[in-house]
Structure 1
Amino acid sequence: MDRSLLERLFHQAVAQAQPALAVERHLPEEPKGRTIVIGAGKASAQMARAFEQAWPGEISGLVVTRYGYAEACERIEIVEAAHPVPDAAGAAAAKRLRELVSNLDQDDLVVALISGGGSSLLPAPAPGLNLEDEQAINRALLASGAPIGVMNLVRNQFSTIKGGRLAAAAAPARVATLVVSDVPGDDPALVASGPTLPLAGGRAEARRLAALYRLDLPPAARRLLESDDNLPPDPTDPVFIRNSVTTIASAALSLEAAADMARKEGIEAAILSDSIEGEARDVAQVHAAIAKEIAMRNRPFKKPVVLLSGGETTVTLRGKGRGGRNGEFLLSLAIALDGAAGISALAGDTDGIDGSEDNAGAFVDGATARRMREAGIDPQAALSNNDAYTAFEAIGDLFVTGPTGTNVNDFRAIIIR
């Protein structure tokens, strides 16, 4: 297995997305008035620290990140909350953020540091809903297999902070949003459900999607969805006209950095896509078919080559096992590659945590499935139970990095020799 090269490619992709470099290159114009920094997401504490070090003037602010992801800042307060299911700490932080941007004037600047994970870190239930309702909504979305765009449009209906509402509350101050994108296609309004960026798509579309994905919503959420209460702001509202948004790091840039590194190490690289979506186990089948076609017939790319891809797959929960979407992808890949020679792979979440476990991802080659069976694990049964973590833990092939400080979604690399 090309484990060392696979690890280096992953770390190169992560390094490209580090906020310390990206933030400094995209500082907004200084205001005449105050500068207030707000933020939410798994990379937002690192973004806050980088902004604090690079900003020439006075600043104050508040940023919320996932438990264990805090960074030491001097002028920006960092608080932690739960991900992927919201908690009371996140609700308190969301309330404070809204208060922080209230009563500003047109000479003030709000800098919003937004990264993936902010949706669950900023629970702010709409009137008639409570935190338990928002937790239930999140669980229903996570179990549905819905893509991130669907999840965020639905979430926006039930929030008083998402979908541009936080930016609307800051008016008439100018809002400059810096985004570390973790969504396929890099639409900044989808990252963290866009607290400062309105999302296209209305209540009727949200109702249609909730029905399509058979979302098991709590009664209060169903009632709100059938009403015209708490409608999200329209993207054409003049309240947003002075605002700006810049995507400072993304999967596309990280994959290009990994591809450059591979070529310098003497192996050609092919980027399949930076925005792959779909069921993780199905996406794995397609990747496996391409890898085996190259291994057997040298098409559509010639050996040796590394296939790179990014995006955000989904997992429809069928069992009660452990693991995230990268583990699910890899377990399905291991089954598809069973017995194949000369193919090895790594997939991992660039924030260092796959789902709710302690690993970023895992390693796979043609012998992975056999070694699982030898360890007493039936790979197909583990996949049916969504239990990839246990399967890879049993053979010592988990990939553990700890929090990386950034988040540009999933990274996948498959080497064919």
Structure 2
Amino acid sequence: MSDLDPQSTLRRLFDAAVASAMPQRLADHLPPPPKGRAVVVGAGKAAAAMARELERVWPGELSGVVATRYGHAVATERIAVLEAAHPVPDEAGSAAARRILEAVSGLTADDLVICLLSGGGSALLTLPARGVSLEDKQEVSRQLLACGAGIDEMNAVRKHLSAIKGGRLALACAPAKLVTLAISDVVGDDPAVIASGPTAADPSTYADARAVIAKYGLTLPPAAAALLAAEPDETPKPGDPRLAHAEYRLIATPQLALRAAAAEAERLGLNVLLLGDSIEGEAREAAKVHAGIARQIAAHGSPVARPALILSGGETTVTLRGKGRGGRNSEFLLSLAMALNGLPGIYALAADTDGIDGSEDNAGALMAPDTLARAAALGVDAGARLADNDGYGFFAALGDLLITGPTHTNVNDFRAILLL
């Protein structure tokens, strides 16, 4: 048995993952200053912190505007920071998108646009396509969030209802050189998926968007449905010569964050099993798979021996069936607790690296072998809370929520299961 304190160890590993993905990394990826103007635009939960860091290290003049989530703004001097809603967009997001398009209009080939993107940018860059209202986009977003659609499926729909996503922002920047600096929060680190790819070629089509709607049986507002059926103008596809002026650079990724946590765990003497950064599917079902691996380690010492750490990242989904509070990480952890059923010596943390699990004020939560027993003593029914999608309420009752506040980065979910 190890003498490590379980909760402080798990928090230390989470902090190592987050630290590895902070915006300070962008200094290593900067383009040279242009002959003309340098204009900064962007969106995402880390966009304001990225803008502040860019101001600190950029050698010349800067101007521009970025959009971030309410509560995620930081002080800047030359780049305007606008706040808007996430995950369901609002008028402030539409106003920010219009400001961003205005900022890149009328540029020349001597100018440079630096686009700062991170997770959450899709909701924050909401500029409905012609004929579609903001209310239409809000309704589509709510349905996509509730049905359990994957991020690539949601983006296929959102891009084709947008005047700025799916490479359209890149087209607006021409003929200026465009360099995107991105913090990835998506499985596979695909530029077309991060923030719905406003500066990247879009392989998805109107037909793909309609297929998502049909797959989940969604009922779109009439104007949105009519636009998807009409296919007025496709997004730019890979190889489109109109994007020849655009470059894309990743400055932080989920895999790098997991590796940072793994390295810290190994320094603490833990045997690490890294499952990868691409775990998807229903959060409660993914938890059962993780529980099975933990049971294998506990019973047989394989594929790694105790003291052990199981690490994974990715982005699970939650199909809303109940009316409780809680994001995918608290749901994962509640399902994990039920699957392990108090197995001794096993502790876990599941959290979103941006500090916000879903739409609540927690990053995630912590689990211990006595989690279910303590809940039962308080009269909190774990099964009922899971059925109601109320992971937040369950862990709040135990005092086991992980509350960090905005971290100013976002490299997707972080899950750590500690076996001592």
TM-score by length of 2: 0.97
Q: Find out whether 1:64 has 2:57 as its counterpart.
A: no
- Matches for 1:96-115 after TM superposition, within 5 Å: 96-115=99-118
Query: Is contact 2:342-2:369 (8 Å) kept?
Result: yes
Tell me the secondary structure at the aligned position of residue 266 of structure 1: coil
Measured in 2, the distance between the counterparts of 1:81 and 1:337 equals 40
Indicate which of 206, 214, 229 corresponds to 2:232.
229
Deviation at 1:213, TM superposition (A): 2.1
Choose the corresponding residue for 1:238, options 223, 238, 241.
241
Runs of 5+ unmatched residues, structure 1 = none
For residue 79 of structure 1, the aligned residue among 58, 78, 82 is 82
Residue aligning to 1:12: 16
The amino acid of 1:170's aligned partner reads C
1:409: which partner in 2? 412
Q: 2:91 is matched with which residue?
A: 88
Give the structure-1-normalised TM-score: 0.98
Identical-pair percentage:
57
| SS state at 1:402 partner | coil
1:396 has 2:403 as partner: no
Report SS of the residue matched to 2:230.
coil
Correspondent of 1:167 among 156, 170, 185: 170
31, 37, 40: which one aligns with 1:37: 40
Name the CA distance, whole Å, in 2 between partners of 1:32 and 1:138.
41
1:256 matched to which residue of 2? 259
CA contact (8 A) 2:199 2:246 kept: no
Partner of 2:161: 158
1:197 matched to 2:192:
no
Q: Return 5+ residue gaps in structure 2 as ranges.
A: none
The answer to whether the Cα contact below 8 Å between 1:126 and 1:230 also exists between their aligned partners in 2 is no
1:212 aligned residue (186, 208, 215): 215
Bigger shift: residues 199-208 or 229-238 = 229-238
Per-residue displacement from partner, 1:81-103 (whole Å, max 9, x unpaired)? Answer: 00111111111010111111111
Give matches, 1:267-286, under 5 Å. Answer: 267-286=270-289
Aligned twin of 1:361 = 364
Distance in 2, matches of 1:215 and 1:113, equals 32
C-alpha separation in 2, matches of 1:163 and 1:198: 7
The alpha carbon displacement at 1:367 in A equals 1.7
Match of 1:25 in 2: 28
Letter in 2 for 1:247: L
The Cα offsets for residues 132-166 of structure 1, whole Å up to 9 and x where unpaired, read as 00101110110111111111111101000000101
1:133 maps to 2:139? no
Note if contact 1:162-1:195 (Cα within 8 Å) is conserved in structure 2: yes
Aligned equivalents of 1:185 and 1:114: distance in 2?
A: 16
Residue type of the partner of 1:371? R
Assess if the C-alpha contact under 8 Å between 2:272 and 2:304 holds in 1. Answer: no
Letter in 2 for 1:33: G
Counterpart of 2:117 in 1: which secondary structure?
A: strand
**Contact persistence 1:160–1:230 (CA under 8 A):** no
1:186 is paired with a residue whose SS is: coil
- CA–CA distance in structure 2, aligned partners of residues 259 and 364 of structure 1: 20
1:263-306 superposed Cα distances (whole Å, 9 cap, x missing partner): 11111212101111110000000000100110011112211110
C-alpha contact (below 8 Å) 2:183/2:252 kept by paired residues: yes
Q: For the residues of structure 1 that align with 2:231 and 2:191, how far apart are their CA atoms? A: 26
1:319 counterpart residue number: 322
Q: Could you tell me how far apart the structure 1 residues matched to 2:354 and 2:413 are?
A: 9
Ranges of 4+ aligned residues in structure 1 off by more than 3 Å: none
1:318 corresponds to which letter in structure 2?
A: R
1:305 maps to which residue?
A: 308
Distance 1:395 1:228 in 2: 51
Whether contact under 8 Å (1:158, 1:230) holds in the other structure is no
Residues 167 and 236 of structure 2 are in contact (CA less than 8 Å); yes or no, is this contact kept in structure 1?
A: yes
Q: How big is the alpha-carbon RMSD for the aligned residues of Structure 1 and Structure 2? A: 1.0
- Aligned counterparts of 1:72 and 1:88: Cα–Cα separation in 2: 22
Letter aligned with residue 264 of structure 1: R
Query: Which among 293, 297, 301 is matched to residue 294 of structure 1?
Result: 297
Mapped to 2, the partners of 1:382 and 1:216 lie a distance apart of: 29
Query: How many aligned residue pairs are there?
Result: 416
Q: What is the alpha-carbon distance in structure 2 between the residues aligned to residue 235 and residue 73 of structure 1?
A: 35
Alpha carbons 2:174, 2:245 under 8 Å: kept: no
